[in-house]
Structure 1
Amino acid sequence: MGKKQTKSDKKYKSNKSLVKAKIRTQKIGQQKYIRETIRNEKLKRDDLSDSEQEEQQLDQHYLKISKKKDKKESTKNDNGITKHEVEEFLEKLKQEGGKTTKEEEEEIQQLIASVSDDSDEEVFHGGDKEEDDEMTDDVTDQQEVDEEDEQYFERIAGEIQEEDEKDTKEFGNRIKVTKALIARWVKKIKTSNAVQPLFHLILCFRSGLKKEGENQESKKKEKEPEIPYVVPDVATFARVTMACVKCLGDLATILTKYEQGSNKLPAKHSGWKQIKLALSTFINAFHQMMEKTLDEKLLIYVLHYFVRLVPFYGLFEAQPKKILRLMLNLLGHSNEDVRVRAFIIINSMAVIYPYPFLELCIKGIYYTLLRNSKGYNPSTFHQIEFLKNCLVELSTINFTSTYHHAFTYIRELAITVRRAMDSTVQNGYALCYNWKFFHCLDAWSKVICAYYKQENISALLYPVTQIAMAAIGLTNSAKHYPFKVKILTMLNQLSRDCDKSFIPISQTVFEILQLKQAINTPKQNQKPQPLYFEFKLKAVPEELKSREFHQRIIDDCCFLLLDHLANHSKSVAFPELSYPITNFLKKYVKSHTETLHFGISKQITNLVKHVNDNIIFVNESKSKINFTPLEFDKVIEFLKDTETPLDKYYANEKKKQDREVLERVAAKLDEKVTFEEEEDEEESALKEMEETKLKRKRGDESTESTSAPSSKRTEPSKKKTKSSSNASSSNKKDTLKELDLENF
């Protein structure tokens, strides 16, 4: 090869490789520190998805560099090297008598310069020719990559500085909430059950709820300390709310040792003092959040986890009523998931909280039903039916309280019917012929149908049927035919679900069939239009003259009679019960053969034929029995499990009618039309009644002024009139008016 190497030369080379290794380790440590700072800053900005590729490229680059290093050189020392250490090393080498060439001295000077300037360039030694041959190919590549890295680091550092300056201008000294910070707090809560990070989450939740343009004067008046956290955008606010609701419920159950699903309030353990302040601060911010417009997905998530907090808020005095008001407002929400979760919270409150709170829940749902039942159309009928089902579900908790509420509200409905019957106004029937009256009556009828076997609730069947029959008989006009059909279907449903109780609806159906619009068949229109009576209580004059209205009357009346007879098709007295109906229908077809259409008369005769077939079937089965009418239990079980011919015919007709109703509703869903004509008519009737009362009062005052001289004789008569006026005023207070939700 060349000259022989002395001991001093070997020592120089080994020490020189040590210097080189120290410089390289120093460089790698600096690069790793820069990478960690970049990664932390990007975590704060929530830009992890954008920086993943760049970080992978850097990792691959530094792995290549580390593989090319000598393992011995990298493991000796990991500390950095300075310029002073290199100069001391050279002085020691000269004292020992080591020989150095000019090239080696120049290389050492380059090493010293690289260390002093803190440059990131790779410095290679030139002592050994074999090492130079190996490294010369990689020097240019490494230099190019290092230059790219420098540009990348400079660009990232500039962006970080700009963002820091913006944050200081916008937020000042307050801390910006990020995804990493929220995850850190949640991890501490789960691992150590600590309350302090939960307070930090609640503070972030409160800061996100505050308005952007808040005046300093309001802050001074309130004298509230400034919250040290800032929520920059909507996404972080959603993360904070979700973490806050979930962690609060989990931590409260752990600290109070409460079993979720129990029907009792949690006991005040030692952990209750730790979590009490967090619960109170959160619920105050929760009320502010519900006043604002929120995203539906976030609202569903919050309500889903808020159910776990319901038992703990029962230990506060004022919070249960406030929460109930919020949930009752959400029952009228357009989204079905929101309505369901709000009712779950109300139901859990009614079960867990002490007894008087159940009455507030029943009242609240009944009042919300009244408030939302003004208009009934394809876009609102889901909400109204849901509220009726909510009332039915709450009735299962305590039947005595439901009986008291049902009795009072059914009595109010009876008073309105009596008031409409006694009114001298032309439109007095409008007090009952509206959506409010119908939905209230229908809601209590559903409660009776669901729990008829309970002793208290079974007693309400008779007053409900009496009110319904009295409301039907207020007018005989054909324009209110849709309201009457709805009431009659409700009565058929009551008789079916209440142990086949007999409710005589046939006479009212006969009155409908004797109307002019049912007897005389009008001419067929060129453009027939379907009638959407599912969302109407009153027909328009144009509809009364159409042939579709005539056909609809016959169809509905035939189906009502079929439903009425199918409920009692298994009864022993079916032949006697069905005789007046079949007799009337036969006479009706004979007397109106000229005016009725051929298809309508055929439809009625088909119904009579199926009823006669069922009469024959019942008479044949009656001939085989061995019990007397006094054996009431056996009479009830007569034909209990058998299917009669009329049941088969009713099932087929029911499927057809349900299909037609679904088609009409689906066609009407596209049209956003509301039907509020009945409400206007009700208001006009109330105004007329008030005007007549004022006129009467003025007339009474004038008569009293004329009869003033004869005061001694008329004193007892005045006392009577005062007592009668007081009685009438007390009756007025009992009438069904707009219920005050504010007082509630």
Structure 2
Amino acid sequence: MKNSASELYTMNHSAAYQHAFNYIRQLAILLRNSLKVKSKEAYKQVYNWQFVHCVDFWTIVLGRACSRMREAERGSESELRPLIYPLVQITLGAIKLVPNARSYPYHMHLARSILHLMQHTNTYVPLAPSLLPILTAQLASSSAPKASTIRPLDFETTLRVPQQYLKTRVYAEGVVEEASFLLAEYLTSGPVQGSVGFPEIVVPVVAAMRRAVKAAQKGKGKGKEAVTVKTLVERIEESAKWVDDKRRGISFGPGRMQEIEAWETGVKIEETPLGKYVRVLRKAREKQRKLIERASLTPYYLNYTDTTFQAREGEDEIIEED
């Protein structure tokens, strides 16, 4: 539904601007009221699925309308491009509204929407300050995670974490894995990894993550989380060195924007150490998703064309661990 509606909105950018402006303004009003009142009921006006899907929908619309390819075809910038800034500000404000552990899935849903917008419009957004606290909080905790037999949390379908998951190993590992992946996706986006200033951009990110890993090593029971973050730090530093080596031979300065843009366009992100690492993560997550889907499928479904039971796809396959 989002994809179909976004196609309709991008048929006429001028007409779509009025609709988009009004709806994004409504999101801003809800957030402003929550910031003013600061009550449980006011927070519920923002911390709900409707708000998340509204933000996600408008990032899809703006991503489709303001993509480089679409604007090149039009020969000019989209009339919707000025709405990118207010939508990003609203989204970042919603992430900061209730910064507690139970709201991390909500924060990551909004972060995914911003990532989509960045990747399609080539717009730089300082998303790291919103993701790093999620990642470092699990490592900096003074208490060791509790053992639990509950199933891993599905972050795709969760908005607020059930109470029984808090301070458990299952949740800590899931949060670190998900936040690390989102941070890696952010750092491999065009406006970040493709920037000539990438080595400087990642300095505070690497410093914060190294402090978190050091704190985790002093505690107990955080080995897997620390290894995940440490591996990401190593790939980030390798990518920073890769960009530093690549830009060593350039002869232009920061004021020559056309040459900088030409250099950045030539950066092949998939060839960077971090780009290769993210590609491996994506394949692993996709494989895991397919295994979960196969395992959750019921063995049979009723085929109404011949009124007989037919086997679901993949029923006869054996799921092997490798």
TM-score normalized by structure 1? 0.36
Give 1:363-378 correspondences, 5 Å limit: none
Distance 2:234 2:180 in 1: 13
1:667–1:419 CA distance, 2 compared to 1 (3 A)? farther
**1:329-372 alpha-carbon deviations (Å, 9 max, x no partner):** xxxxxxxxxxxxxxxxxxxxxxxxxxxxxxxxxxxxxxxxxxxx
Whether 2:246 is the aligned partner of 1:621: answer yes
The answer to whether the Cα contact below 8 Å between 2:139 and 2:226 also exists between their aligned partners in 1 is no
- Please state if 1:605 is matched with 2:238: no
Instruction: Give 1:664 shift.
Output: 4.1
In structure 2, distance between residues paired with 1:663 and 1:511: 31
Deviations 1:572-607 (A, max 9, x none): 100110100111111111123132522222221111
Equivalent runs, 1:379-528 vs 2, <5 Å: 387-452=1-66, 453=71, 454-499=77-122, 501-515=123-137, 519=141, 520-525=143-148, 527-528=149-150
Computing the radius of gyration from Cα coordinates, the structure with the larger value is 1
* Other structure's SS at 1:535 match: coil
Contact 1:518/1:553 (8 A) holds in 2: no
Any residues of structure 2 matched to 1:32-431 within 5 Å, and which?
387-431=1-45
Q: 1:451 to 1:565 in 2, by over 3 A?
A: same
Choose from 560, 573, 577 the match for 2:182.
Answer: 560
Shift of 1:514: 4.4
Partner of 2:207: 583
Letter of the structure 2 residue corresponding to residue 393 of structure 1: E
Q: Deviations over 1:107-152 (max 9, x none)?
A: xxxxxxxxxxxxxxxxxxxxxxxxxxxxxxxxxxxxxxxxxxxxxx
What corresponds to 2:164 in structure 1? 542
Given that 1:517 and 1:545 are in contact with CA atoms closer than 8 Å, whether structure 2 keeps it comes out as: no
Residue 657 of structure 1, CA deviation:
2.2
* Kept after mapping to 2: 8 A contact 1:566/1:646: yes
CA 651–553 in structure 1, closer or farther in 2 if over 3 Å, else same: same
The 2-side partners of 1:451 and 1:589 are apart by 41
CA 1:457–1:574: 2 relative to 1, 3 Å: same
Give 1:546 shift. 2.5
Q: Secondary structure at the match of 2:24?
A: helix
Aligned 8 A contact 2:242 2:272 in 1: yes
Q: Alpha carbons of 1:599 and 1:419: their partners in 2 closer, same or farther (altered >3 Å)?
A: same
Matches of 2:216 and 2:262, distance apart in 1: 41
1:653 aligns to what? Answer: 281
Q: Does the aligned pair in 1 maintain the 2:103–2:159 contact within 8 Å?
A: yes
Match among 554, 572, 581 for residue 196 of structure 2:
572
Q: Would you say the 8 A contact 1:521–1:550 is kept in 2?
A: no
The question of whether the paired residues in 2 share the 8 Å contact of 1:570 and 1:644 is answered with no
1:494 is aligned with what amino acid? Answer: L
The one-letter amino acid of 2:223's match is F
Closer, same or farther: CA 401–422 of 1 in aligned 2, 3 Å: same
- Asked whether the 8 Å contact 2:55–2:113 carries over to 1, the reply is no
**CA deviation after TM superposition for structure 1 residue 528, in Å:** 4.6
CA distance in 1, matches of 2:236, 2:137: 24
8 Å CA contact retained: 2:34, 2:43? yes
Residue pair 2:138, 2:172 contacting (<8 A) in 1 also: no
CA separation of 1:458/1:663 partners in 2, compared to 1, >3 Å: closer, same or farther?
farther
Q: Is the 8 A contact 1:589 1:601 kept in 2?
A: yes
Q: Where does residue 529 of structure 1 map in the other structure? A: 151
Q: Which deviates the most, 470-479 or 661-670?
A: 661-670
Residue 512 of structure 1 contacts residue 518 of structure 1 at CA under 8 Å; is this kept in 2? no
Residue 653 of structure 1 and its aligned partner are, at CA, apart by 1.1
With over 3 angstroms needed to count, the CA separation of the structure-2 counterparts of 1:531 and 1:424, relative to structure 1, is closer
The match for 2:309 is none
SS of alignment partner, residue 11 of structure 2? coil
Task: Give the conservation status (yes or no) of the 8 Å contact 1:513–1:557.
Answer: yes
Among residues 258, 282, 292, which one is paired with 1:633 in the alignment?
258
TM-score, length of structure 2 as denominator length: 0.81
Whichever residue aligns with residue 82 of structure 2, its letter is A
Cα drift, residue 458 of structure 1: 1.1
Look up the match of 2:303: none
* SS of residue paired to 2:249: coil
Measure, in 1, the Cα distance between the counterparts of 2:272 and 2:136.
30
Structure 2 residue runs without a partner (length 5+): 72-76, 299-322
Paired with 1:557 and 1:395, the residues of 2 have a C-alpha distance of 32
Question: SS of 2:202's equivalent?
Answer: helix
1-structure distance, mates of 2:293, 2:111: 21
Q: Percent identity?
A: 28
Query: In angstroms, what is the RMSD of aligned CA positions?
Result: 2.0
Residues 428 and 389 of structure 1, relative CA distance in 2, 3 Å threshold: same
Q: Deviations over 1:483-542 (max 9, x none)?
A: 11111111122111112x2111211222223446873442333x3512122112011111
Structure-2 residue corresponding to 1:132: none
* 8 Å contact kept, 1:449–1:494: yes
- Does the C-alpha gap of structure 1 residues 635 and 516 become closer, same or farther in structure 2, counting only changes over 3 Å? closer
What residue number does 2:319 align with? none
Asked whether the 8 Å contact 2:139–2:212 carries over to 1, the reply is no
What is the aligned residue count? 282
Contact 1:483 1:538 in 2 (8 A): yes
Q: More relative contact order in 1 or in 2 (CA 8 Å, sep 6+)?
A: 2
Q: Distance in 2 between matches of 1:478 and 1:517?
A: 13
Does the CA contact (< 8 Å) of 1:518 and 1:554 recur in 2? Answer: no
How many Å separate the matches in 2 of 1:667 and 1:437? 32
Q: Structure 1 530/581 Cα, relative in aligned 2: closer, same or farther at 3 Å? A: same
Deviation at 1:667, TM superposition (A): 5.0
CA gap 1:575/1:561 in 2 versus in 1, 3 angstroms: same
